Amino acid sequence: MPAGISSTGRSAAGAALLRCVDLLARAALAVACVALVGLGLLPRTGLYRPVTVLSGSMAPAFSPGDVVVVTPEPLRSVRVGQIISYRIPVGDHHVQTHRVTKIIRGGPHPVVRTKGDANNTADPWRAELHGTTAWRVRTVLPRVGWVIFWFRSPLVHSLTVLLAPLLLALIAVAQIWRRPEKTRPEAIADASPTA
């Protein structure tokens, strides 16, 4: 029956498309897991920290929206030319990432002068570095910060952190309540990669 043949042909094409979409979904899931581990969990070990750049004074080394990866640097080995993240000694004491232009005094708590590469003068303070370690820029991940910002915007944040887990829970509940004979084998096959 021609209609039957065409129907199976279409559904075979549909199945191929679905497999393709499923493959993309797997890839997206893998990327998400890498992001969670790399940006969210591993930094808790203290081996490195991803830091989002908010303004452009270090262009072209890095620009707003980039994520820079900083690693611990012993305070004694802070050198001129390194780019370090530290809390500035004035104003709101925000974290700033600038290049060291001068070591005014060395030792366990060095006093440094810093400057943004794109600024025409050095920062108007001498920063005495406290604590046990400085944080030195090692790698730049271009534009990753914009993605983080977007996910942090209130609407997207509530969609992803509240609605998405709620939907997952509803699907799980629906599957538990469904008749077991038909859904069981597929449910297990589908659930295992995400579990």
Partner 1 sequence: MISSFLRRPRRQPSGTTKKLIATLAILGAAASIAGLGTYATFTSSTSQSHAISSGTVTIALGATGAATNRLNIGASALAPGDTIQRSVDLTNSGSLDLASVTLTTTASPSSLLDTDATNGLQMVIDKCSVAWTESGPPYTYTCGGSTTSLVASRAVIGSGISLGSLAALTAGGTDHMRVTLTLPSGAGNTLQNQSSTISYAFTGTQRAATNK
Site for partner 1 in 132-161 (CB under 8 A): 147-148, 151-152, 156-157, 159-161
Q: How far is the CB of 26 from partner 1 (least distance, A)?
A: 6
Query: 86: Cβ–Cβ under 8 A, 6 or more apart, which residues?
Result: 95, 96, 114, 127, 129, 134, 135
Cβ atoms 80, 102 nearer than 8 A: yes
Beta bridge partners of 73: 134
3-class DSSP string for 66-80: CEEEEEEEEHHHCCC
Among 16, 21, 80, 173, the residue binding partner 1 under the rule CB under 8 A is: 21
Among 16, 22, 130, 176, the residue binding partner 1 under the rule CB under 8 A is: 22
Q: How far is the CB of 91 from partner 1 (least distance, A)?
A: 6
Cβ atoms 46, 72 nearer than 8 A: yes
**Residue 22 or 128 with smaller CB distance to partner 1:** 22
Residues of this chain, 161-180, that bind partner 1 according to CB under 8 A: 161, 164-165, 167-168, 171, 175
Residues of this chain, 116-135, that bind partner 1 according to CB under 8 A: 116, 118-125
First to last CA, the chain: 43
Residues of this chain, 49-78, that bind partner 1 according to CB under 8 A: 49-58, 67-68
Size of the site for partner 1 (CB under 8 A): 76
